[in-house]
C-alpha cells in the first residue's frame, strides 16, 4: 500500500519533477510523486530512433490539440505532452540544448532575480554527465558526474558533415560545443542518450530516487490542490483520494497542466475562474497567460544519392534497425538521428542567435507519417524568440477535460519577416558546394515558392510546432501583476505551494526546452532546501561584430 502522506508532494513525474524528487530524496526528505501516466518500459520509448512513435500514442501522450490558429488559416496543431513516467522527456526528440546565456540574463532582468546565466550555469553543470565521444567540445563549461547523460551521435552519415561544412562555406562560424562558451555557429548536436538508450528524466533521476525507499509514485489525476488556512497541504485526486504534504506541494505538471491545476484550485484570473464557478483563492491574472512555443518549418531536399535513412523506410529495414538495437544498442535505432545543428542570427543588430537548425538525413514529418519522394534530407528551422503570445484557459471546471490551448502563432508582424528570412537563409546553406554531391531539388516548400506572398502561404500551410510550450506561470518579481511565482518558485498569494517546470520561464529559451526544464527542477530543489550553488564567472562568446554583421 502506497503511503499517502510525505514531506513533499510533487505533481508530475516529468523533466523538472523527477529532478526535484531526486534532490529532495538525496537530502533525506520523503516524497510522493503524483503521475497520471503509466510505465515508461518498452522499446518504443527506450529506443531513441523510435521517437516518432510514443509522441503519437494515446498511451503515452495527453493528446492535446490547439484551438484553430487564426494566423495559420485556422489549422489545429498537435501539442504532444508526455503522459508517462518521465513526462515529455520520455516522448521527446532527446535534443539537448541549454539555451543561450543571454536568455537567462533576460530572465533576471525581467524580474526573475537569481536566474541569470551566472546563477544557472552551475546547475547545468551539476546535472550533466557529459561525454563528447571524441568529437571536441568545451570541457571547462560542462559537467561530468551528474545524473543526466548527454552524448553525441556517431555522425557517420556524410550528410551531417556536409551540413556543417555548408554553414562554414556560407560564412558562419563553426562551434565545437553550442552548449559551451559559443552557441553561435554550426557543429555537432547533443542528445540525452546513454549507451544507445533514451536517457529520460525517469532513467536519470526517478529510478535512483525510488531505489532510496524515500519516494513513492501515486497513480492518479490531480483534481485540485487542497488548502488548510491558506496553506497548500495536499493534492486531491479524481476519485476523492487525498495525497498529503507535511511541508510543501510542488506543481511540475507541464506548461499546459500546471496553470490548469492552479485555476481549478482557485488561483488565476478572478473573472475567468468566476465564469466557471470556481471560488477565487488568489487573483493572479498571469496564470495561463504568456504562452510561447517554437514554430518551425521543414526545408526538405531530394537527395541524389541513396545514403539517407530512407533505406530503412520499409518493413525489412525497420526490422533490421529494431533487431540491431535490441541486440547491440547500436545503429540508427541508438540515436535520435539529429546529429548536426546550427544557431545563427537572422540579421545584423541581433546580439545572439535567433534561428535554430535541426538537421536530419531524411525528408519526413515529425509524426513519421510521410517520407517525401524517397531519399531526401531536411533542416528544421524557425525563429527562437517570437513576440507572439497565447494562453491556456479552462474549458470547464471538470479536471478530466483538457484546457483550451491557443498559441496565437504568427500574430506578431515580425514573425513573418523572420520566418521568410529563415527559409531563404536555409536555402542558401543547401545551395553551398558541400551539398553539391547530394542535392537534387527542393521538395518543401518547393523551388517555385519565392515571393514573400508565396512564402507566407507556405508558412501558413506547413509550419509545425517544435513542441516547446512554456511561460504560462511566469516567474517574476512579487509586485509584477502578471507574475505567478516569485524567483524561489513560490506561488504568489498562497503559502506552501511552488511551481517548477517550463511554465515558469519568463521568456522561451534558444533551442529545445528539456535541458532548461531539468535545470529548473535542479535549481527549484535548492530553493526548497534553502541553499544555492555559487555563481559562475564564465564569459559566453558574443559575435564581436553583431551590430553590423549578420554572420
Looking at the annotation, which residues are catalytic?
468
Handedness of CA 86, 91, 96, 99 (dihedral sign): negative
Beta carbons of 377 and 438 less than 8 angstroms apart: yes
Beta carbons of 422 and 383 less than 8 angstroms apart: yes
Residue 94 is labelled as binding a ligand: yes
Omega into 445 within 30° of 0, i.e. cis?
yes
Task: Classify residue 41 by burial, with Cβ atoms within 10 Å: 0-12, 13-18, 19+.
Answer: exposed
Beta carbons of 363 and 443 less than 8 angstroms apart: yes
Residue 84 is labelled as binding a ligand: yes
Query: Dihedrals φ, ψ of 25, to 5°?
Result: -65, -40
Q: Are strands 222-228 and 64-65 parallel, antiparallel or unpaired?
A: unpaired
Helix axes 413-430, 452-462, angle to 10 degrees: 100
Residue 133 is labelled as binding a ligand: no
For the record, the C-alpha cell of 327 comes out as: 541486440
Residue 484 is labelled as binding a ligand: no
Cα separation, 436 vs 301, in Å, equals 12
Of 389, 382, 324, the closest CA to residue 358 belongs to: 382
Cα separation, 107 vs 103, in Å, equals 7
Q: What is the 3-state secondary structure (H, E, C) of 483-535?
A: CCECCCCEECCCECEEECCHHHCCCCCCCCCHHHHHHHHHHHHHHHHCCCCCC
Q: Are strands 185-188 and 340-344 parallel, antiparallel or unpaired?
A: antiparallel
Residue 93 is labelled as binding a ligand: yes
Beta carbons of 182 and 31 less than 8 angstroms apart: no
DSSP 95: B
Binding-site residues for FAD: 84, 92-95
Binding-site residues: 84, 92-95
Amino acid at each position: 500500500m502506497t503511503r499517502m502522506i510525505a514531506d513533499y508532494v510533487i505533481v508530475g513525474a516529468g523533466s523538472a519533477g523527477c529532478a526535484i524528487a531526486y534532490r529532495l530524496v538525496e537530502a533525506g526528505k520523503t516524497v510522493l510523486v503524483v503521475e497520471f501516466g503509466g510505465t515508461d518500459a518498452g522499446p518504443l520509448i527506450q529506443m531513441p530512433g523510435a521517437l516518432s512513435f510514443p509522441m503519437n500514442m494515446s498511451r503515452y501522450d495527453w493528446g492535446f490539440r490547439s484551438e484553430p490558429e487564426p494566423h495559420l488559416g485556422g489549422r489545429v496543431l498537435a501539442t504532444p505532452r508526455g503522459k508517462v513516467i518521465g513526462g515529455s522527456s520520455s516522448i521527446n526528440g532527446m535534443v539537448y540544448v541549454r539555451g543561450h546565456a543571454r536568455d537567462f540574463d533576460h530572465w533576471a532582468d525581467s524580474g526573475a532575480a537569481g536566474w541569470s546565466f551566472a546563477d544557472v550555469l552551475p546547475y547545468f553543470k551539476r546535472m550533466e554527465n557529459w561525454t563528447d565521444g571524441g568529437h571536441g567540445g568545451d570541457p571547462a563549461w560542462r559537467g561530468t558526474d551528474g545524473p543526466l547523460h548527454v552524448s553525441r551521435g556517431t555522425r557517420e552519415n556524410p550528410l551531417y558533415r556536409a551540413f556543417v561544412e555548408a554553414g562554414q562555406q556560407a560564412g558562419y562560424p563553426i562551434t565545437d560545443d553550442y552548449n559551451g562558451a559559443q552557441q553561435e555557429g554550426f557543429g555537432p548536436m547533443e542528445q540525452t542518450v546513454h549507451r544507445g538508450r533514451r536517457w529520460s528524466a525517469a532513467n536519470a533521476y526517478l529510478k535512483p530516487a525510488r531505489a532510496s525507499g524515500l519516494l513513492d509514485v501515486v497513480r492518479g489525476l490531480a483534481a485540485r490542490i487542497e488548502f488548510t488556512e491558506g496553506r497548500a497541504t495536499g493534492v486531491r485526486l479524481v476519485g476523492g483520494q487525498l495525497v498529503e504534504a507535511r511541508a510543501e506541494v510542488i506543481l511540475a505538471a507541464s506548461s499546459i497542466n500546471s496553470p490548469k491545476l492552479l485555476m481549478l484550485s482557485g488561483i488565476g484570473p478572478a473573472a475567468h475562474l468566476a465564469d466557471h464557478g470556481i471560488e477565487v483563492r488568489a487573483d493572479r491574472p498571469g496564470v495561463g497567460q504568456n504562452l510561447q512555443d517554437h514554430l518551425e518549418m521543414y526545408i526538405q531536399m531530394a537527395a541524389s544519392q541513396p545514403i539517407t535513412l530512407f533505406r530503412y523506410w520499409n518493413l525489412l529495414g525497420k526490422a533490421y534497425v529494431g533487431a540491431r538495437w535490441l541486440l547491440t544498442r547500436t545503429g540508427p535505432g541508438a540515436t535520435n538521428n539529429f546529429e548536426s545543428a546550427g544557431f545563427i542570427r537572422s540579421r545584423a543588430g541581433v546580439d545572439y542567435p535567433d534561428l535554430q537548425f535541426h538537421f536530419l538525413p531524411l525528408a519526413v514529418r515529425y509524426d513519421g507519417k510521410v517520407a517525401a519522394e524517397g531519399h531526401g534530407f531536411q533542416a528544421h528551422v524557425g525563429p527562437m524568440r517570437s513576440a507572439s503570445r497565447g494562453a491556456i484557459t479552462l474549458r470547464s471546471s471538470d479536471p478530466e477535460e483538457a484546457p483550451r490551448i491557443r498559441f496565437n502563432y504568427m500574430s506578431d508582424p515580425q514573425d513573418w519577416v523572420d520566418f521568410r528570412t529563415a527559409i531563404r537563409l536555409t536555402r542558401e546553406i543547401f545551395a553551398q558546394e558541400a551539398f553539391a554531391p547530394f542535392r537534387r531539388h527542393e521538395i518543401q516548400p518547393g523551388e517555385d515558392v519565392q515571393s514573400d506572398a508565396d512564402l507566407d502561404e507556405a508558412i501558413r500551410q506547413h509550419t509545425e510546432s517544435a513542441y516547446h510550450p512554456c511561460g504560462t506561470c511566469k516567474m517574476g518579481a512579487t509586485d509584477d501583476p502578471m507574475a505567478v511565482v516569485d524567483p524561489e518558485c513560490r506561488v504568489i498569494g498562497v503559502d506552501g505551494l511552488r511551481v517548477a517546470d517550463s511554465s515558469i520561464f519568463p521568456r522561451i529559451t534558444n533551442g529545445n526546452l528539456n535541458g532548461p526544464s531539468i535545470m529548473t527542477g535542479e535549481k527549484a530543489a535548492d530553493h526548497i532546501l534553502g541553499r544555492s550553488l555559487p555563481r559562475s564567472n564564465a564569459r559566453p562568446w558574443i559575435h564581436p561584430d553583431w551590430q553590423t554583421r549578420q554572420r
